[in-house]
Amino acid sequence: AHIQFPGMLNVGEETLFRGWLLRETSAFIRNPLVLMVINGAVFSAAHLQFAPDAFLERSIMGAGFTYMTLRLGGVELSTGAHFANNLMIVLFLEPLTLKEPPSGPLASTDILIFAGLFLDNRLQRTWRDINSLAKHISVNWDAVSTMYGQHTFGLEPRGQY
């Protein structure tokens, strides 16, 4: 079940951003670079993580997915790349588990969205799981290649994070 969830997530995101949003913005804007910047920025903003480095990484990835869609005329490749990215996160960076995640300080978005809910609430846990899936690691070649090499040689994968 944990492999299917990231697959459904990336299909939905690619349909929304590279399907609907790209079609709507390309009706007014013909410059592919401008389309890539707009689509990448909106894609990054939708992940609700506004730290400059994370926002920039996600924007570049969204722009890359937009390029794939514009170049090939369909969302198939960007959907597959997005799935591979999410799969790397689930397998190596933050594996999904049945254990309850440790409680920590709440972020401002958690407080705004889930005001009045307890940390052990199922909805709160779902929010944390979705946020962990949103940390696209595949744009960091050093982290991914290090973990891949460790896995290939039978070592315990330890990323740079």
For residues 100 and 147, give the distance between their C-alpha atoms in angstroms, rounded to a whole number: 25
Q: What is the pLDDT of residue 3?
A: 46
pLDDT band per the 50, 70, 90 thresholds, residue 130: low
Question: Tell me: the pLDDT tens digits for 2-47?
Answer: 444 556 778 888 989 999 999 999 999 999 999 999 999 999 999 8
pTM here is 0.57
For residues 85 and 135, give the distance between their C-alpha atoms in angstroms, rounded to a whole number: 9
Question: Tell me: the pLDDT tens digits for 67-122?
Answer: 999 999 999 999 999 888 888 877 777 666 656 555 555 454 444 444 434 455 66
For residues 140 and 20, give the distance between their C-alpha atoms in angstroms, rounded to a whole number: 28
Q: What is the pLDDT of residue 114?
A: 45
Neighbours of 159 (CB within 10 A): 16
